[in-house]
């Protein structure tokens, strides 16, 4: 349990990739604060299971990633209740699929806020404590869409490209403080986020469900397989190790070869 005594925040961890990160961190003994929306009883079950797994503390915080004051309060709460925030995984994200000239303004604003600005606010709140303790790991879930574009995903592609730039900037700023800052760029991972965009893609491209899965989603991935949330979490766990102390400012693809093409 190499993370015993360390404490982590994972945003957007009530489901999908974020929950896999939280489970992986807890399995290595970390205290974990989970965040995101969903059914209260289901979230409490996950929280209790994380505490059981780690043998440490597990908290749930409902901070809305569109609200900078709630993000700062969440970091302050974790520092108070855990005694430190050593690891921040900025993972909350949403998607909306539509051409630019039909893209709803409120979706543009929400995607930029949740998928990009929340990471800035998390960094801003967590870096001072990490600097004091001379150790920190900041990891964001970017996307293959931080490196390449797809039509009808203007806000998402913009936010994820921005996240890759923010990662590099932050890495340079904290490079001498024992803090590393990296992002992970998955291709298509089988989670509710992908499931939920299938109907919109069917509509905008006039395709059946099977065509969207095989000809749109998996078409991009040379391996013809979805990435698994646990595979993304395993990479994040490696970045938390002391062996990864010289990995910073990097953007790791885990996309079945998508961005190699
Ligand atoms: P998901 O829908 O399963 O999980 C998203 C999480 O974010 C949930 O916990 C949800 O409650 C939370 N969330 C949404 N809005 C929020 C808000 N305003 N405040 C706080 N939490 C909020 O999706 P996922 O596929 O696990 O996505 C996680 C991350 O991975 C996202 O950043 C996404 O862009 C990225 N990603 C996903 C894929 C994929 O194929 N699934 C690929 C590349 C990158």
DSSP 167: H
- What 3 state SS string does 184-240 have? EEECCECCHHHHHHHHHHHHHHCCCHHHHHHHHHHHHCCCCCCECHHHHHHHHHHHC
Q: Which domains does the chain have, with CATH numbers?
A: 7-189+228-260 (3.40.50.720), 190-226 (no CATH)
**Is the shortest distance between the CB of 183 and ligand 1 below 6 Å?**
no
Residue 156 is among the residues annotated as catalytic for this protein:
yes
Most confident of 166-180, 185-199, 205-219: 166-180
Q: Are 63 and 35 in contact (CB under 8 A)?
A: yes
**Is the shortest distance between the CB of 36 and ligand 1 below 6 Å?**
yes
* pTM (2 d.p.): 0.96
Residue with tokens 């039509």: 151
**Is the shortest distance between the CB of 192 and ligand 1 below 6 Å?**
yes
DSSP 162: H
- pLDDT of residue 41 exceeding 90, the answer is yes
Q: Are 138 and 172 in contact (CB under 8 A)?
A: no
Residue-wise pLDDT for 113-149, tens only, equals 999 999 999 999 999 999 999 999 999 999 999 999 9
194 pLDDT band (50/70/90 cuts)? confident
For the CA of 20, the closest atom of ligand 1 is 26
**Is the shortest distance between the CB of 189 and ligand 1 below 6 Å?**
yes
For the CA of 186, the closest atom of ligand 1 is 43
200 pLDDT band (50/70/90 cuts)? confident
For the CA of 142, the closest atom of ligand 1 is 44
């Amino acid at each position: 349990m190499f993370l015993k005594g360390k404490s982590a925040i994972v945003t957007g961890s009530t489901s999908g990739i974020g929950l896999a990160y939280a489970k992986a961190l807890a399995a290595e003994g970390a205290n974990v604060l989970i965040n995101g929306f969903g059914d209260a009883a289901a979230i409490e079950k996950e929280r209790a299971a994380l505490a059981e797994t780690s043998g440490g503390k597990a908290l749930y915080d409902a901070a809305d990633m569109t609200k900078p004051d709630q993000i700062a309060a969440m970091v302050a709460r974790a520092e108070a209740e855990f005694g430190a925030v050593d690891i921040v995984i900025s993972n909350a994200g949403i998607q909306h699929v539509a051409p630019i000239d039909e893209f709803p303004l409120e979706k543009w604003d929400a995607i930029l806020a949740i998928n990009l600005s929340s990471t800035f606010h998390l960094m801003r709140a967590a870096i001072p404590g990490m600097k004091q303790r001379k150790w920190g790991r900041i990891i964001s879930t970017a996307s293959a869409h931080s490196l390449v574009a797809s039509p009808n995903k203007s806000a998402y592609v913009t936010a994820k490209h921005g996240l890759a730039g923010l990662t590099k900037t932050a890495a340079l700023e904290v490079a001498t403080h024992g803090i590393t800052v990296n992002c992970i760029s998955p291709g298509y991972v089988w989670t509710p986020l992908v499931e939920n965009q299938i109907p919109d893609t069917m509509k905008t491209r006039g395709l059946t469900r099977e065509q969207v899965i095989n000809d749109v989603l998996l078409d991009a991935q040379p391996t013809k397989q979805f990435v698994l949330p646990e595979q993304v979490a395993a990479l994040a766990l490696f970045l938390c190790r002391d062996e990864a102390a010289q990995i910073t400012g990097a953007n790791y693809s885990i996309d079945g070869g998508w961005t190699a093409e």
